Chain A
Amino acid sequence: MSGMSIGLWVFAVLLFLLAIRVHVGVGMFLGGAAAFLAMNGGDPAALLFTLNTTAYARLSNYDLAVVPLFMLMGQFATHGGLSRALFRCAAAFLGHLRGGLGMAAAGACAGFGAICGSSLATAATMAQVALPELRAHGYSDRLATSTLAAAGTLGILIPPSVPLVVYAVLTQESIGKLFVAAVIPGLIATLGYMLVIRIVVSFNPKAGPAADKASWSERVKALVGVIPVILVFVVVIFGIYGGWANPTEAASIGAAACAVLAVINGMRWKGIRQSLIGTAHATAMIFLVLLGADLLNSGLALTQLPVELANWVKDSGMAPLMVLAAILVIYILLGCVMDSLAMILLTIPIFYPVVMGLDFWGLSQGDKSVWFGILALMVVEIGLITPPMGMNLFIIQKMSRNVPLMETARGVVPFLVSDLLRIVLLTLFPALALWLVSVAG
């Protein structure tokens, strides 16, 4: 059997294993092991030799240490009451508009996303704060829950973002560049969500009534409350990009700052314990998949499948944009059934060489790699709010207690439209991501 057909077989078996509930990390691990065995004619020596160092080499990767540190930072931020301050502030400025509290919730999610690298944590913590307020002001269940589910995805769209870290490690890209490139698309996403709320309430004014207008003294007071959040964001992002701290150090500083804020706001041993356990679960979920993906990627590299596929696509003369569109559609379909990080780990080693081999708008290789990272991030993020596996939908359903999942899923549709428009926009105008990188660099 040729390497290419072994690679395809491994992939087919892997997808089957995943479909029958085998842990994603384990499926990848076994797929990688199978590729090693098949390429060596069944001799396990090479596989066993690789396995000696697999675990330590992967776990001691310097850049990957950022992941648990950002998780820790997000956990402390969740326990530190920062979400409440953010929502208060956004509501003071926007609440008097029709649908304004919903917009405030979206804005607060964006703010929380700036110190938290995960969507679920953002959706969960903002729902805790904003859902009761939205309900008290007579928002419809559909608008309130779908706003939070959709805006929760800003947690990973707005840097720091764990999927971008993983993308950076997989592709040897700079974490700092990717973070800076995500800023403007993240802001566009936030504005897009606010616009969606505005449009929804103009069709159905009862869904999102206006609240009382806040006085300027209240606004200033609310603004003071979010200064710590802004400081943490600036230190982390500009620390990384400005080059005076590497991502791991910046994440350490962010985690420490959020811990201090949380302790000031009343976090004690119980909260610390919860934060550590939460970090443990979230990190372990990612790292098991990382371990499996590591072996799978080495195995697939042996079969030459990624290289040959990239060459085949390149030589087939297909229009680059069509190829890209096909990749994005695959992501959206996969996202319906798969976790976003698992998707990135599974597909980037295959798709990245394909994209890098094609010409898009004459972009340089470096620009293309950053641009594709942001695009991939945006598409996988859609999977979080599409049934049947939309994790944000589940979280919001759990937090709201009595709103049916389908009600939220229906409400999410207009937000999805804005997501798709944004992806088209970014595909056609890579400068939206790359401009800030070139200016800041």
Chain B
Amino acid sequence: MAELAPGATGEPSPFTSSWGHWLDRISTWWALGGGLLFCAIVVMSIVSIVGRKLFSTPIQGDMELLQMGSAIAAAAFLPLCEVYDHHIKVDAFTNGLSARARGWLDALGHALLAVTGALLTWRTALYAISAKESFEVSALLLVPLWWPVSLLVPSFLLLTLAALGRAGLSLRTALNGGAA
């Protein structure tokens, strides 16, 4: 199952360069922001359900807000997971390879994630622009659709950068023969 052991979050930063440290720091705060947004969603859901059950006055459009909020927050989690290389892989077949060979494969994997991230950044940004131009809004609260959509873009951009950073680290392992 995809889950971290408690305490495993105290890992040291994988990056040694200063821009790598910045990437780590920004991704961490970005993810914490996403986590706090989820906490806000929890509070909103509870206020809404209590309001609906006791006073028949739920928060208007609570489902819409939840969908937008959780999309933004969940996307914000993606870069940090890549910085620490926790995304799910199958490594059973490659564990026997040398550190150097695994470095090459990992560099490829991270580079492909960077391509995926770049594609998502590009297309999601386009979607935000077209949603803005066509004045699409949510059904109840009339929130412009481009607001939440455009807030996904920085997450995917950061994911792309994190994947590039990890690809660089793997490449170094491949070239140094696993020494670094």
Contact = CB atoms under 8 A, between A and B. Distances in A.
Interface string A347-390: 00000000000000000000000000000000000001000110
B89 A287 contact: no
A288 B87 contact: yes
Determine chain A's interface SS by DSSP, over half rule.
Answer: helix
B120 interface: yes
B77 A26 contact: no
A79 interface: yes
B80 A284 contact: yes
Interface in A77-113: 78-79
A227 interface: no
Nearest to A21: B105
A155 B3 CA distance: 12
Bin the interface of chain B by size. 35 or more
B77 A25 contact: no
Interface in A104-132: 118-121, 124-125, 128
B76 to A, nearest CB: 8
Given A281-B80, A282-B4, A22 B108 contact: yes
Determine chain B's interface SS by DSSP, over half rule.
Answer: helix
Interface in A121-179: 121, 124-125, 128, 155-156, 162-163
A79 B6 contact: yes
A22 B4 contact: no
Contacts of A405: none
A341 B89 contact: no
Given A253-B49, A280-B31, A285-B88, A388 B95 contact: yes
A407 interface: no
Interface of B: 1-9, 28, 31-32, 34-36, 38-39, 41-43, 45-46, 48-49, 53, 63, 66-68, 70-71, 73-78, 80-82, 84, 86-95, 102, 105-106, 108-109, 112-113, 116, 119-120, 123-124, 126-127, 130, 148-149, 152, 156
Interface of A: 18-26, 29-30, 48, 51-56, 59-62, 64-65, 68-69, 71-72, 74-75, 78-79, 118-121, 124-125, 128, 155-156, 162-163, 244-245, 248-249, 252-253, 255-256, 259, 273-289, 291-292, 336-342, 384, 388-389, 391, 395, 398-399
